[in-house]
Amino acid sequence: MKKLLKTIFAAFVLLPLLNFQTNAADDLNKLLDSLTAGPPARANGSGVTASLKREAANPLSAGVMLNEVFSGGKSVEYKCALIDALGASGDEDVARTLVLAMKDRDEGVRVCAARSLGEQKNEFAVDLLVGNVENYLAMWTRGPYENNIKVRLAAINSIWSLGEIGAPAVMGKLQNFYLESDDVIKINILISIGKLKNNAGAAPYLRAIAASTAESEAVRASAFEMLDELKENFRPASVEHSRSVGIGKGDLIYSGGIVGTVSGWFMPDLPIGHAGVFAGTVLENGRIKVLITDCVPNNFKPGGVRNIDSWKNFTHQFIYPYYGNRTTNPSPTAEQREKIVARGLYLGKQGLKYTNTHIPQKGPEVFDCVGYTEYLYEYAGLNPTPDKLETDWGWPLTPSEQFDSTVANTHVPLIIVPPQAIYVPSPDEIAAAIGAAPLEFTLTLPETLPLK
């Protein structure tokens, strides 16, 4: 009788648990099926994305999702959505294993993994993020004009992620990368240096860059901004112009960001989400500032069609990398560049609004970000993207499509600063300043996945 009662009791207690696990598995399978049908918008408010993140907190679901990430035959969008969601797991083993996504065979997965792991502040990713940049800089075809743009984007995302993770011991690595980099990479490196935790070496390094006329003005502007972020009121007695601005006046410039209501805008292997037009630089109040005209959601400050004077505003408070400057092919003439910039600066003062519907994209009274830049170029007689991308099944035009349709501005000279031209604190000096021994990254990653 006792055995019978125990059996009945066990069934009474365990069956609901088994039913719960079955229901949970069914829910996860439905979510995975919906991913197969199409990627969700990459935003915390997306229903599918939010549900996946809740599932990731369940160890059993997290294990299934990890297996899906490392399974063959899955799309880039599918894997990247799961990598993004698994950051909500909170499990150290999951975080450690997820790092291996940066070794995926598909370059697109490596691009999105490099950024997602930074968003997740995954400290296990530091070695591979550093390796991404080292591998890129070792390529003989590197630079803004290489054939494989995805390798470059993975390196830019890796630099951004190193800043988000904030390990001060990477300061020496970032300094070394800087000496081998073009201006786009340099701007991202300086922003990441300014984000590193407890990094006493950042301020003197940034001051040296900000003061150097050998550096382009676009690069120096980022150094001045990061000094402000560090609460360093660096204002030299006199600020001189650089040998080069570094970005062509009227160039299209790009950052990340998902805006609007169109769910299919996220392209994980080409993570371009925002476009603007570079209008030049100004020397003001003892510092150099960039001048940019763009269009952002109306709840931004400032919002709508606007003129801004910082990389911080353009990259949405540094939460996205800067992906570079591009133009049409052939490049705009000097007269067309002046026309683009003059029109943009004029419209930036008119209080025009952003549209979430993307109807229309190109004004004349409301715009979205890429519609605004497309409009400015068309106003000057240029057409950055094929018309088929703006109508019928091609609508809406996206920033990534415009980026992909344009070319890097090869007419802007790259300035590589010789090491002796700036003060570069050594890793030992930095370690002494923060009272710690230099750290070596010796994370050993497993060859096989420790999944249960």
Residue 311 pLDDT more than 90? yes
Tell me the mean pLDDT in the region 400-415.
Answer: 73
Tell me the mean pLDDT in the region 200-214.
Answer: 95
Tell me if the domain spanning 247-258+269-412 has CATH number 3.90.1720.
Answer: yes
Domain ranges of the chain: 247-258+269-412
Place of tokens 């035009």: 397
Place of tokens 């999944």: 451
Q: Strand 407-408: give its sheet, edge to edge.
A: 304-308, 287-296, 274-284, 252-255, 322-327, 407-408
Give the model's pLDDT for residue 261.
Answer: 33
Tell me the mean pLDDT in the region 5-24.
Answer: 42
Give the model's pLDDT for residue 451.
Answer: 41
pLDDT, tens only, 38-51: 555 444 445 787 88
Residues in the chain, overall count: 452
Number of other CB atoms surrounding residue 9 within 10 Å: 10
Give the model's pLDDT for residue 169.
Answer: 93
Who has greater pLDDT, 264 or 301? 301
Give the model's pLDDT for residue 19.
Answer: 43
Lowest mean pLDDT among 61-70, 231-240, 302-311: 231-240
**Cα within 13 Å of Cα(327), Cβ side:** 21
Phi, psi dihedrals of residue 136, rounded to the nearest 5°: -65, -45
Give the model's pLDDT for residue 419.
Answer: 38
Give the model's pLDDT for residue 102.
Answer: 93
Give the model's pLDDT for residue 25.
Answer: 61
Residue 29 pLDDT more than 60? yes
Tell me the mean pLDDT in the region 394-408.
Answer: 87
Compute the mean pLDDT over every residue in the chain, rounded to the nearest whole number.
82
Distances from the Cα of 133 to the Cα of 19, 179, 180, 253, 407, angstroms: 48, 13, 11, 22, 22
Give the model's pLDDT for residue 377.
Answer: 98
Residue 72 pLDDT more than 60? yes
Give the model's pLDDT for residue 188.
Answer: 98
Evaluate the omega torsion of the peptide bond into residue 330 and state whether it is cis, within 30 degrees of 0: yes
Residue 172 pLDDT more than 50? yes
Phi, psi dihedrals of residue 251, rounded to the nearest 5°: -65, 150
Give the model's pLDDT for residue 57.
Answer: 93
Tell me the mean pLDDT in the region 169-195.
Answer: 96
Considering the chain, what percentage of its residues have pLDDT values greater than 90? 58
pLDDT, tens only, 142-154: 655 455 788 888 8
Give the model's pLDDT for residue 37.
Answer: 63
Q: Answer for the pair 83, 116: CB distance below 8 angstroms, yes or no.
A: yes
> Which of the four pLDDT bands, split at 50, 70 and 90, describes residue 249?
very high
> Which of the four pLDDT bands, split at 50, 70 and 90, describes residue 418?
very low
Give the model's pLDDT for residue 28.
Answer: 81
Give the model's pLDDT for residue 449.
Answer: 44
Give the model's pLDDT for residue 108.
Answer: 85
pLDDT, tens only, 263-276: 333 455 567 899 99
Lowest mean pLDDT among 136-140, 237-241, 310-314, 353-357: 136-140
Residue 21 pLDDT more than 60? no
pTM listed for this prediction: 0.81
- 65-88 burial: b if 16+ Cβ within 10 Å, else e: bbebbbeeebbbbbbbbbbbbbbb
pLDDT, tens only, 345-380: 999 999 999 998 888 899 888 999 999 999 999 999
User: Which residues touch 103 (CB under 8 Å, ≥6 apart)?
Assistant: 110, 128
